Amino acid sequence: MKTQTIFRSLYLLFLLITVTNCDKNSTDCLLGIRPKLISKEMNTAVAFQQYNDNITFEMENTSTDNYYISDILIEGNLPPGINYKKFNSNGINFYGAPNTTGTYSFTVKIKARPNYSTDGSTEMCDNIASNNYSIKVD
């Protein structure tokens, strides 16, 4: 019992030293701060009519207010005529007029960065999030 108490005390001391002597990024790692794309069913589109829908992200274990999307990568197929752009600091807007019916599946990958990154070089421990989505065009 005494050995367990000593081990726990040493472990807590190690964590305290690690957290107080590391930069903000290391603290993010220890606290499990990472981006997460919010799962959702995308709105159904109608061929040759304007389409508009959004995907947002949140940060696990902290407020999203201190982070922003720095990069967006789409893998797979968006419906022809649908484009995307970043809006605000935490969302992706899908817009346009699709011109071909069908169901289009794609993966969205984002890279999130903290607002305290003044030169863009500050990276978090785990700053990439991805999720699968699809848009049906009738």
pLDDT of 128: 83
pLDDT of 114: 78
In tens, the pLDDT along 36-76 reads: 888 899 999 999 999 999 998 887 767 777 777 788 899 99
Q: Locate the domains of the chain by residue range.
A: 1-31, 35-137
Of 56, 41, 28, the closest CA to residue 129 belongs to: 56
pLDDT of 60: 74
| The domain defined by 35-137 carries CATH number 2.60.40.10 | yes
Which residue numbers in the chain have pLDDT < 50? 16-25, 121
Q: Contact 128/111 with Cβ under 8 angstroms?
A: yes
29 CB neighbour count, 10 Å cutoff: 13
d(CA 117, CA 102): 41
pLDDT of 121: 46
